[in-house]
Amino acid sequence: MPGLASDITSALSTLCRGCEGIEAVLMMVTDGNRFSRALTDLQQLALDQHIPIAIVGGLAAIRYGYPAATQDIDIAVCKDQLGKLIQWAPRYGMVVAWESKSGWHTLTHGDVEINVVPEGGRARDSSPTEIPGPPQMGVDSGLDYASIESWVELKISSGRQKDRAHVVEVLKKSDEATIDMIHDHLTNVHVQYELTFSQLLGEAIEERQQEKDRR
């Protein structure tokens, strides 16, 4: 069954490539890792040009305890720095693959896609709040991960089932102090986010107990 063998090979290749993100975040692998190379150049760009950049999306999920296999890098950028980012990115090994009028730019670094999440945008049209900038996510300079509470805010605001699942997985591994911090943050952002968070926390607690019972 050559067709099936080809599909399996393709799936394994995609999985292995996705796992490079896990290596880059958790194991600090640099040699030969495409994500690490991209993050290194993003860091240099952020420092040289004074553009604070917050890592969000799948890599942040890995940072906060869920080993998500991801194929790209999502970064949040201040709205007044978007033009500067596009201007300087090519000098740091990146290609501007798509320049959006609304700021949702796409860069590439080799075969790694870098998706720009603009301050002031909305994760979806029906999102009740705008996306905060890196300083509001705890990143005042350089390249760093958005705070866990800001990451959860963005995940919930997207409304996607995949993002909700990522939040549940991270909450399963979070301690009470972290959970309280996230809850307090979302309470001050929007009541809809607080309600969704409470629902996801309930799912996390239930799944964690089920996994414990099966051991």
Q: Is 142 exposed, middle or buried (0-12, 13-18, 19+ CB in 10 A)?
A: middle
In a domain, residue 189? The reply is yes
Residue 141 belongs to domain with CATH number: 3.30.460
In a domain, residue 5? The reply is no
Q: How many domains does the chain have?
A: 1
In a domain, residue 9? The reply is no
β pairing state of 143-145 and 95-98: unpaired
Share of the chain above pLDDT 70, in %: 87
Which parts of 49-144 fold into alpha helices (H)? 57-63, 82-88
In a domain, residue 173? The reply is yes
- Residue 110 pLDDT: 95
Residue with more model confidence, 29 or 206: 206
- Residue 12 pLDDT: 36
In a domain, residue 8? The reply is no
- Residue 158 pLDDT: 95
In a domain, residue 13? The reply is no
Q: The whole model's pTM is what? A: 0.88
Alpha carbons within 13 angstroms on the beta-carbon side of residue 185 total 20
In angstroms, the CA 148 to CA 169 distance is 13
What is the extent of the structural domain holding 203?
24-213
- Residue 17 pLDDT: 58
- Residue 31 pLDDT: 63
In a domain, residue 28? The reply is yes
- Residue 68 pLDDT: 83
> Mean pLDDT over residues 110-129, rounded?
95
Q: 3-class DSSP state for residue 189?
A: coil
> Mean pLDDT over residues 190-204, rounded?
98
Among left, alpha and beta (phi > 0; psi -120 to 50; other), residue 145 is: beta
- Residue 184 pLDDT: 98
- Residue 23 pLDDT: 72
For residue 63, pLDDT over 80 is answered with yes
In a domain, residue 41? The reply is yes
Question: pLDDT of 3-55, one tens digit each?
Answer: 544 443 343 344 445 567 677 666 555 566 889 999 999 999 999 999 999 99
AA identity, residue 56 = V
